[in-house]
Every structure is written in structure tokens, then in C-alpha cells.
């Protein structure tokens, strides 16, 4: 049976009403509010007629009572906005940090990685559409509040927690609170995202995260609208904020044939990064493989990625990698002397020659968070 909004509210009320959330005085009248996984959203405002506007991302969803947000993870309930799956992830894995991808961040360590169903984008090429293009009431979830995430990350020997796979903007509150707690207990936090978020929300998040692997899906607003269901400008704003706040940033661009396989645009993107952020921001050019609604397209030819990497380097970027390609991420070279300072095979770290973040041969600092 297809679960519509109303049956979800009923199911949630029936199944999850055991523990009351402190501070929600109406809980006894509105059973869904009794769920530990339903919490008031962090950013929203009240409009007239019981409507609310979500303030988390640039979509700015305006929702009447009972309506669900575009990301499918928030709802207006009696004139207040709630996140529906706080502490209720559908995916949890222990991954090498390299898989995020984060190549200049704590090499060889593990990241406790989790996702909640939902996304504020509609990428035609989505690799994780089973969790991103559904809602938290339609996935099998774990009961894992922030303190349990932190305890599990420690138990599995992880140096960091990664918010990833789906779109963490859609589970902002859970991410934010988990990150704050994790940071307080000495763990790092990695935000893997489409960067489609409002400035106020990202500013607050930056208080608690240490690294961000952010997607720059194209350098054309038209392509963003068609391929992803978003806009370019807010993404660029996020990249600037994250970088200016001192969070370690790596930028990911998936090269989708016929959509973003445009050397001129990749050049413009690289130039923008060099001019507005830093030439040492790692730039990942990922090979597309046919997924979701783009099964008819071929994989990105490897020679195109090589040309794109050359173009990005010509625009001044020091660390350009090819992802999903054998050997494409295997070495980090010193930007000054060109010698290999970190070597890997796939996700496996073979050698890290850096000494306190500097090249052992010429002494140049290599940008990253190495210790
Ligand atoms: Zn060197």
C-alpha cells in the first residue's frame, strides 16, 4: 500500500508514541509528537492560516497544516514545522574516510557514516535514489540518537562521523546535534552534501563540523534546474561560507555526459574556486556511471576526465583528482616540489610521508587536516 501523509501520521502515532519529547507541551493531544523521532525544526517561521515556511534550504517550502516538505523529511503539524526522523537513520556504515571523498583529511582513518531518507534535490543521476528519493517513514530505520551515534563511532574506532549518502540538509537537526556532541567528545564531523542550504543554517553548522565534501554539480544555473532541481547561486554561497569559516573543504564535480561534460564550464568552475576560495582546495572530477533516470547515457570517457583534470590544473588548482577511475586518487603530490607525499591504492592508505602537514623533501606545507 502506498503510504500517504495521513497514513504516515497514523502509523507514526501508533508505532512510536512511547517516549515523550521534553518541551512539547501538546504531546498528549497530538500523538505523533510523542515520537522521539519527531522534533521541532530548527529554522522555520509561522505564516497566516496555519501555514509555515521552512528556513533550512533555498526551496523555502511553504506548507499548510499536514503538508510535507520537498525533501520529504519535514512536515507542518498544527502550524509548527517538525523534522520527522531525528535519531532515526536508515543507513549506517563504517567507511574509510577516503570514500567520502576526503583525501586531505585524516588519511587512513574510519568515518562512522549515516543517512536519513530524503533529499532536497531531484538529480536524474542519483546514485543513492533508494534512500534519497523516498521519505523516512518508508525506509527501515535504526533508533540511534546523537549520543548513540557518538558511542558507536567510538566503539568502531572511528576518527569522525560523516553525514552522507542521502542529503544531510534534509536531516539538519539530527546532524547538527550529533556533530555538536561528537565534537565535544573529540570526534570530527564530515558533511557530505549538495550544499543547497541557507546561509544561517550553514553558519550554525560550521560551528560543529571539521570537513565538508561538497558537490558543485555544474556551473550553469539552467543545468542545475534540469539535472538537479536546484539553483547554482546558493551552492556557490555555501562554498564561500564553509571555506571562510575554516572548515576543511573538498569540492566534487560529477561529469555527466551531455549535461556537464563541458570543458569550458569545468575551466570556469576551477577558475572560480581558485579566485574565490583557494588554489589548494581539492577538486574531484568523478566519472559518471549510468544510474537512476540516466541509464541510457554512457559512462564518462576516461580521456575526457584526463582533459578536464589538465584544464582544472591550468586554471591554477593544485590538487585535482579523478574519482571512480583506477589510479585517479592514488597519490597526493607536494604542490612545490611535485614529489609524492601520500600514496593510496583505492581507499587503502599505503604511505603518508607528511611531517606535521609538510613535505619531508622540501618542507612546503600541504593544505589539509593531517593529524
Ligand atoms: Zn615538496
DSSP assignment of 137-152 equals: GGS------HHHHHHH
Residue 105 CA to ligand 1 centre (angstroms) = 18
In the chain, which ranges are continuous DSSP H helix? 5-16, 129-132, 146-155, 172-184, 199-206, 221-223, 232-244, 263-276, 302-314
Residue 331 CA to ligand 1 centre (angstroms) = 13
| Residue 179 predicted with pLDDT over 80 | yes
The region of weakest confidence among 23-37, 156-170, 298-312 is 23-37
- Average pLDDT (13-42) is 54
Tell me how far apart the alpha carbons of residues 64 and 54 are, in angstroms, rounded to a whole number: 11
Q: What is the pLDDT of residue 26?
A: 40
pLDDT band at 257 (very low <50, low <70, confident <90, very high): very high
| Residue 239 predicted with pLDDT over 70 | yes
Residue 360 CA to ligand 1 centre (angstroms) = 7
Residue 98 CA to ligand 1 centre (angstroms) = 22
Q: What is the pLDDT of residue 223?
A: 98
Q: What percent of the chain has pLDDT over 90?
A: 88
| Residue 188 predicted with pLDDT over 90 | yes
| Residue 268 predicted with pLDDT over 70 | yes
- Average pLDDT (320-326) is 95
- Angle of CA points 8, 133, 248, to nearest 5°: 120
pTM of the full predicted structure?
A: 0.91
Three-class secondary structure of residue 159 per DSSP:
coil
Residue 280 CA to ligand 1 centre (angstroms) = 14
Q: What is the pLDDT of residues 211-232, one digit of tens each?
A: 999 999 999 999 999 999 999 9
Strands 320-323 and 283-287: parallel
Nearest to 209 by CA among 181, 234, 229, 251: 181
pLDDT band at 156 (very low <50, low <70, confident <90, very high): very high
Tell me how far apart the alpha carbons of residues 249 and 37 are, in angstroms, rounded to a whole number: 30
| Residue 33 predicted with pLDDT over 80 | no
Q: What is the pLDDT of residue 10?
A: 37
Q: What is the pLDDT of residue 15?
A: 32
pLDDT band at 137 (very low <50, low <70, confident <90, very high): confident
Distance of CA 116 to CAs 71, 129, 308, Å? Answer: 11, 12, 33
Q: Nine-digit cell at 53? A: 515556511
For each of the domains in the chain, give its residue range(s) and CATH number, in order of start. 5-83 (no CATH), 91-328 (3.20.20.70), 330-371 (no CATH)
Residue 159 CA to ligand 1 centre (angstroms) = 27
Amino acid at each position: 500500500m502506498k503510504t500517504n501523509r495521513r497514513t504516515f501520521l497514523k502509523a507514526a502515532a501508533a508505532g512510536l508514541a512511547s517516549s515523550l519529547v521534553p518541551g512539547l507541551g501538546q504531546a498528549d493531544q497530538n500523538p505523533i509528537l510523542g515520537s522521539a523521532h519527531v522534533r521541532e525544526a530548527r529554522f522555520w517561521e509561522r505564516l497566516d492560516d496555519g501555514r509555515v515556511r521552512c528556513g533550512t534550504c533555498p526551496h523555502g517550502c511553504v506548507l499548510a497544516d499536514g503538508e510535507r516538505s520537498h525533501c520529504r523529511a519535514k512536515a507542518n503539524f498544527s502550524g509548527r514545522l517538525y523534522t520527522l526522523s531525528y535519531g532515526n537513520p536508515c543507513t549506517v556504515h563504517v567507511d574509510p574516510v577516503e570514500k567520502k571523498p576526503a583525501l586531505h583529511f585524516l588519511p587512513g582513518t574510519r568515518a562512522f557514516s549515516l543517512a536519513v531518507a530524503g533529499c532536497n534535490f531531484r538529480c536524474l543521476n542519483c546514485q543513492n535514489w533508494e534512500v534519497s528519493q523516498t521519505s523516512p517513514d518508508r525506509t527501515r530505520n535504526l533508533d540511534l540518537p546523537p549520543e548513540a551515534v557518538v558511542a558507536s563511532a567510538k566503539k568502531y574506532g572511528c576518527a569522525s562521523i560523516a553525514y552522507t549518502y542521502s542529503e544531510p540538509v534534509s536531516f539538519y537537526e539530527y546532524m547538527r546535534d550529533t556533530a555538536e556532541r561528537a565534537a565535544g567528545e573529540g570526534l570530527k564531523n564530515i558533511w557530505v552534501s549538495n550544499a543547497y542550504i541557507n546561509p544561517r543554517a550553514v553558519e550554525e553548522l560550521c560551528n560543529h563540523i571539521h570537513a565538508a565534501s561538497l558537490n558543485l554539480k555544474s556551473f550553469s544555473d539552467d543545468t542545475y534546474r534540469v539535472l538537479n532541481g536546484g539553483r547554482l547561486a546558493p551552492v556557490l554561497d555555501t562554498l564561500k561560507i564553509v571555506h571562510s569559516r575554516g572548515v576543511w573543504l573538498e569540492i566534487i564535480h560529477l561529469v555527466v555526459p551531455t549535461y556537464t561534460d563541458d570543458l569550458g564550464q569545468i575551466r570556469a568552475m576551477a577558475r572560480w574556486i581558485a579566485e574565490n576560495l583557494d588554489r589548494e582546495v581539492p577538486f574531484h572530477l568523478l566519472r559518471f556511471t549510468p544510474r537512476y533516470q540516466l541509464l541510457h547515457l554512457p559512462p564518462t570517457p576516461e580521456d575526457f576526465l584526463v582533459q578536464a583534470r589538465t584544464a582544472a590544473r591550468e586554471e591554477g588548482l593544485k590538487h585535482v583528482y579523478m574519482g571512480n577511475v583506477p589510479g585517479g586518487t592514488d597519490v597526493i603530490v607536494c604542490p612545490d616540489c611535485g614529489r609524492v607525499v601520500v600514496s593510496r591504492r583505492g581507499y587503502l592508505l599505503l604511505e603518508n610521508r607528511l611531517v606535521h602537514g609538510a613535505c619531508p623533501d622540501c618542507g612546503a606545507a600541504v593544505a589539509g587536516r593531517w593529524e
